[in-house]
Structure 1
Amino acid sequence: MLEKIITSPRGTVSYWIARHQDPKAICLVFTHGLTANHRMFDHQVASFRKHYTVISWDLPLHGASRPYTDFSFHHAAADLDAILNQEKIPAAVLIGQSLGGYACQQYALDFPDKVLAFVGVDTSPFGPSYYSRSDRFWVRQVEWLSRCYPHDKLVTAIAKGATHTKRGFDNMMAMLAPYGKAELCRIMGTAYTSFLRENCDTAFDFPVLLTLGEYDRFGKVPQYNWAWTAKTGYPLKIIPGAGHNANVDNPVVFNAVVEDFLDSHHLV
C-alpha cells in the first residue's frame, strides 16, 4: 500500500492505496470505527486488492490524521471526496465499520452519484426515528463518563467491548495505543456530538448490505440493525464468532459475505 495525504485548513488526512493493474477496476474504500485506524481492515485489504483497487484511510481525529480541527461528518465526507478526486476515482464502494459507517452514510448524502454500494459493518443507521430520547441522552454522556475510568482500564474496556476473539482484541489494543486518556475521551465526545448534530433521514438508491457480529453487544447496535433492515429491506448478514469488530474477529466469513454481495450486484 502506498501512503499518501490530502490537506485542508482543518488538518492533514492520511490514506493508503493499492491500485489494481486494471485501470477500470472498481475501488473499495474501507473506513474504520471510533478510536481505531486503517489497520482495522488489513485482512480485507490483503484479500480484495487481488481484484479491486483498495483504499483505507485514517478518519480525521484518528491515527495519522491528527491533529485535526473542526471535526464533522460533512468535513470527513469532503476529505474522502478529496482523496477520490486526487486519485481520479469517479465512484467507489464504501465499506464502513461502526463510526466509519456514519462517515460513509454522510458521504452518500453529500455525493450520492459517487457511491456504487455501501457495506455497513456493525454500524448504525442515519435517521432520527431510530433513536429514543434516552439513546440521545446517554450518547451525550460518553465523554465525561469515559473520563471517570483510569486510562488502562478504559482502553481495555473499549477493546474487550468491541471484540470477541484474541485476534480482534490485540488489533484493537494496538490501534488504541497512540491515544492518551484526554485525547481518547475527547475523540469519543466529539464524534458522538457530531453524530447527534448531523443525523438525518436517508434514502439510498444504490445496493446496501448490513453485517453484524453474532456476539456484538456494543450499546444497542444489534437492535438498531434489526430495525434498519426491517424498515428498509436492506439485507442483514450475521458474522458468526464475531463481535463489534466483526471484520477482524472473523475475516474469512466476513470477506466471503462481502464478495458474494459484490458479485451479486456485478461490482467486479
Structure 2
Amino acid sequence: MQQSVWHTAYGDIVYWQQAQAAARETVVLLHGAVMDHALFAAQYQALADTYRVLVWDMPMHGASRPFMPVSMLQMARFIEDIVEHEAMGAVHVVGQSMGGMVAQYWAQVAPQRIKSLSLIDSIPLNPRYRSKLDAWALKTVPFFTKLSFNERAIPKMAAKIASTAAAQAYVVQRFQDVSKDELIHIMRVLVEGINSANEMPLNMPVQAIVGEHDGLGKVKAYNITWHQQERVPLHVINGAGHNANMDDAAAVNALLQAWIDRASYQRG
C-alpha cells in the first residue's frame, strides 16, 4: 500500500491506496468509530486485486492524530478533497458504522461522486427513523462514556462489538490505544452527527449489511425498518456482531463484490 498524508488546518490525515493498472473502478473504505484502517484488512486484500482501493484513518483516529474534533460533515468534505486530489472520479463507498454515516454526508456534499454505497452495521441518518427518546438517549452517550470507560470495561465492550476472538482482540487493541478524552470527543462527534442530520436522499444504489448479533444500540432495528420502509436491500451476516466485516470477511466480501459489479454495470 502506498501511504500519503493530507494536510489540513485541524491536523494531518493519513491514507493508503493501491491502484491496479487495469482497474476501471475505485473503492473507498471508511471505518467506524475508534477503529482504524486495519478494520478493512480483509476487504482491502480481496478488493485490491481488481479495483483501485483507498482506505484512511479517519480524523481523530489511528495515525490521523492528533486532530482537532471535527464534525462528520467536515470529515465528508475531507474525504471528498482527498479523492478529488487523487483524481479518482466516481467511486464506490463502503462505510462501517460511523464510516457509513460519514459516507451519507459525503453523498450530500458530492452526490455525483458516489456510484454505490455499502453500509455495514451503520444506520440511515434520515431522522424519520429515530424517536425523540432515541435522540435524547444518544445525547447521554458522552456522559456515560466518561463515567464508565476504563481498562476493565474494554473486554466487555469488545465482546459487544465483535463475535470472533480475532475481531475482539482487534477491538481491544483499538480501545487501548485511545485516551478517555479522545473517546469522549469521538462520541460527541458521533452523537451530534446523528442528531443534527436532516433528510438525506441517497440517489445511488445502496445496500445495508448487518451482523446477526449486532447489539450496539438500535443499529439492527434501524436497518430492519429501513429495509421495510424503503426496500433497501438488507443482508444479515449469520453469527456476526457489529464489526461484521471482520467476523465473517468472506460473506461480506462476496456481497461487496457483487454490489460493486452490479452498480458498475448499471452506471456503464
- TM-score, structure 1 length as denominator? 0.95
Are the counterparts in 2 of residues 151 and 180 from structure 1 also a CA contact under 8 Å? Answer: no
Instruction: Out of 155-164 and 11-20, give the one that drifted further.
Output: 155-164
Q: Does 1:222 align with 2:220?
A: yes
3-state SS, counterpart of residue 177 of structure 2: coil
Matched residue SS, 1:112: coil
The residue aligned with 2:10 is 10
Task: State the match for 1:55 in structure 2.
Answer: 54
Q: Does 40-49 or 77-86 show the bigger shift?
A: 77-86
CA contact under 8 A between 1:30 and 1:41: conserved in structure 2? yes
204-213 or 149-158, which moves further after superposition? 149-158
Q: CA deviation at 1:205?
A: 2.0
SS in 2 for 1:102: helix
User: SS of the residue aligned with 2:148?
Assistant: coil
> Which position in structure 1 is the counterpart of 2:81?
82
Q: Deviations over 1:109-157 (max 9, x none)?
A: 1100000000000100011111111111111111111122251133223
* Contact 1:6–1:82 (8 Å) recurs in 2: no
1:33-112 pair list within 5 angstroms: 33-112=32-111
Partners of 2:40 and 2:257 in 1: how far apart? 15
97-106 vs 142-151, greater mean Cα deviation: 142-151
The 1-side partners of 2:166 and 2:159 are apart by 11
1:151-174 deviation line (CA, Å, top 9, x unaligned): 113322321211111121012122
The 3-state SS of whatever aligns with 1:6 is: strand
- 2-side partners of 1:129 and 1:33: how far apart? 23
- Deviation of residue 179 (structure 1)? 0.6
Deviates most, 215-224 or 200-209: 200-209
Q: List structure 1 runs of 4+ shifted beyond 6 angstroms.
A: none
What letter matches 1:37 in structure 2?
Answer: D
Instruction: Report what 2:209 is aligned to.
Output: 211
- State the alpha-carbon separation in 2 of the partners of residues 184 and 231 from structure 1: 34
Q: Could you tell which deviates more after superposition, 70-79 or 206-215?
A: 70-79
CA offsets per residue over residues 233-266 of structure 1, 9 Å max, x none? 1100111121000000000111011112223334
Distance in 1 separating the partners of 2:139 and 2:10: 24
Q: What does the per-residue CA deviation read over 1:13-36, in whole Å, with 9 as the maximum and x for residues that have no partner?
A: 1111011122x5211111011111
- Report the number of matched residues: 266
Instruction: Describe how 1:154-233 pairs up with structure 2 within 5 A.
Output: 154-197=153-196, 199-233=197-231
Q: 1:261 to 1:154 in 2, by over 3 A?
A: same
Structure 2 Cα separation of the partners of residues 174 and 122 of structure 1: 20
TM-score under structure 2 normalisation? 0.95
Distance in 1 of aligned mates of 2:144 and 2:111: 36
Measure how far apart 1:92 and its partner are. Answer: 0.6
More off after superposition, 185-194 vs 216-225:
185-194
Residue 238 of structure 2 corresponds to 240
Aligned to 2:253: 255
State the one-letter code of the partner of 2:180.
K
Cα pair 1:39 1:175 within 8 Å, conserved: no
Unaligned runs of 5+ in 1: none
User: How many Å separate the matches in 1 of 2:229 and 2:10?
Assistant: 36
**Structure 1 vs Structure 2: percent identity of aligned residues?**
27
Q: Name stretches of at least 5 consecutive residues in structure 2 with no aligned partner.
A: none
State the distance in 1 between where 2:183 and 2:203 align. 36
Query: C-alpha root-mean-square deviation of aligned residues, in Å?
Result: 1.5
Amino acid at match of 2:187: M
Q: Answer yes or no: is 1:21 the counterpart of 2:17.
A: no
Counterparts in 2 of 1:129-140, with a 5 A limit?
Answer: 129-140=128-139
